[in-house]
Chains A and B, each alone.
Chain A
Amino acid sequence: MSAQPQDGAARAAEPAIAMSLRSLGKDFGARTAVHAIDLDIRKGQILGLLGPNGAGKTTTISMACGVVTPSRGAVLVDGVDLAAHPRRVKAQLGLVPQELAIYQELDAVQNLSYFGALHGLRGAALRQRVDWALHLAGLTDRAREVTATYSGGMKRRLNLAAGLVHRPRVLILDEPTVGVDPQSRNHVFETVRELAREGMAIVYTSHYMEEVEQLCDQIAIMDGGKIVAVGALPELVAAHARGGLELELEAPAPGGEALTRALAAAAAHAELARDPARPQVVRCEAPARLAPLLAAIEDCGVRVARITSYQSNLETVFLRLTGKALRDAQEGA
């Protein structure tokens, strides 16, 4: 599956592919965490990776940056195989883990100098990159303070800076805004956009649907160790969800077997969707079929309390594809 449209002419105008995952998969004993996924990320692209807990996102990211060895498949960066040339490829990769992967006993300069040195930076080049990363993270003024004294948002920004101090071609961010204040979140957004404008390919996972909607120009949805959909947001919405009507049933109606049967029969005509987290709500994506649906519900002795219209968005797509609302999927994380 590709994150790019397959049209030949359009493809010729697109930036080159920065990273490719080819039939990439991982087994842990008898359990398959990731099947065999294919994904391309182009230069300057921000790819959002979404999926419920246990979908295989972290395993995929870990394989993509060489932290976990794949059971099958390959990771290519600028066409070079990670398994065959790990040092060469890893030099082009930056990882921002979900955890605050910094040394809180050290100051920002010491942290960034260490992570830069891991990527072979020395002397003046290292100092220059550290200054650049500090500026990018907005931490220049507090660079010499022990990071344990930083606010949560500042630590998050340093966590980001540590992943890009060596200016990688591909930056992988795993939940980079967990627990940060809106100001720091905006700072992270702006930084990510700026890096993408400069040509960096970015893989971005987040629990926050609105972040992915705002930030990512391509979205890949994972479930059960597979990529179940990939594309730009409008493409995903067009392909997997539409707007419609939301019927809120009167309590304590939901759950009756008769209702379930009636809805199942009506679903064939009315394209219904139900959110397991809100069992009293029935979504009808074919408003023209509303009348027979209402009749079916009323025949079961259930009353409809409210009917509202809704627009499809990423949440709708996610619900449709995975059967889970993202907020519920992540609560278990």
Chain B
Amino acid sequence: MIGATIRKDLQLLLRDRGALLSLFALPIVFIVVFGSIFRFGGDRSQPRPLPVWHQPGDARALTIVAAIEASGAFAPQRHDSPEAVRSLVAKEKTAAGLIIPADLDPPAGRKVELVIDLGAPMQVRGPIEGALGAVISQALAPAGTAAQPVLEPRTPPGLAKPLANITGFQVTVPGNGVLFGFFIALTVAMSFTEERRSGTWRRLLASPVSRGAALVAKLLPFVVIGLGQLGFLFGIGALFFGMRVAGSVSALVVLSLAVVLCSTALGLAMAALGGTEKQLGGVGSVTLLVMGLVGGCMVPRLVMPEVMRTIGMAVPHSWALDGYYTLLVRTGTGLTDILPQLGALLTFAAGFAAFGVWKFRFER
């Protein structure tokens, strides 16, 4: 009996493509994605590029640059002006840069300027500030004397001023909000599958409701639910975890609406691809997890290598997070500051919706 049961379950499993994908193919996808993030991000054999400016021939600056280079953690690249260094950081081409003044005198308050986004997550800022501070202090301090603080971190012009005393929740609340907000897509797709399976979809088609209206009516409740979900998560974040909104609250609502429209449209696209509830539960959920991972919901994209950051732009999660990050962290920001993110999210939504409508089979 045991043998027959094992044989039967193996036969069933071998015919269940969704389960096979979940069990064997998707772990490989996770391994590749996680491996790509940490191979490039944390590999000491590939020093992080570090734009630097100092006066030509400045002996102490050259000492500092040599010490940094010798540390193996950074690859200093000299630029022609302080503005060039600040611009690179402001445009997020690099996480940090250094400006070494000619009259460098830390005890007198004239320190090395660390150009860095002070609104960046602590996972990004902490290691950079710590490593550079230690290397420069050692390079400057005479042997046997105590090292002094030598760095003055500053946000470059072009980036709105971040909130002071940012906590981890300022990052984890939107990260998880976006990750789980997009799971509404799975709920949408499974809802269509359940309606088809139970026969209620046939009843809907037999009613005097146009097919377009039936589709819209089926999707709209999920927009409301999705907005409620994000509102709940941000509300909990604000009430219990000290999360603050540095920018415009109304812009936050508009951004959330764009996120929910995008995730609902993604659900329609998934529903149009068909599949059983089991397949959706397996493949769909893991796909959404991978999208969230690549989009920076679990690991900040700033710590990812360039190639992974570029790939991340191909999923709506990264745009949503960028938008949230701007509004939650940078003071005085509003709708105009998140227009690129809004545009990208609505473009994704339109694309998903167009695919869904094109492929959706009412009479399946």
Contact = CB atoms under 8 A, between A and B. Distances in A.
Interface string B194-235: 000111101111111110000000000000000000000000
B202 A62 contact: yes
Contacts of A88: 208
Contacts of B210: 86-87
A53 interface: no
A100 B208 contact: no
Interface size class on chain A is 20 to 34
Contacts of A95: 202-203, 206
Interface in A55-98: 62, 65-69, 86-91, 93, 95, 97-98
A163 B204 CA distance: 11
B363 interface: yes
A162 interface: yes
Interface size class on chain B is 10 to 19
A272 to B, nearest CB: 42
Interface string A86-121: 111111010101111111000000000001001110
A104 to B, nearest CB: 8
Given A86-B210, A87-B210, A67 B205 contact: yes
B215 to A, nearest CB: 14
A66 B200 contact: no
Contacts of A118: 203-204, 207-209
B200 A102 contact: yes
A102 B194 CA distance: 11
Nearest to A97: B199
B26 to A, nearest CB: 30
B208 A101 contact: no
B207 A99 contact: no
Nearest to B197: A99
Contacts of A89: 208
A119 B198 contact: no
A25 B30 CA distance: 50
Contacts of A68: 363
Interface string B177-202: 00000000000000000000111101
13 contacts: A67-B205, A86-B208, A86-B210, A87-B208, A87-B210, A89-B208, A90-B207, A93-B206, A95-B202, A101-B202, A102-B200, A118-B209, A162-B203
Interface of B: 197-200, 202-210, 363
Given A68-B363, A87-B208, 6 more contacts: A62-B202, A66-B205, A66-B206, A86-B210, A99-B199, A163-B203
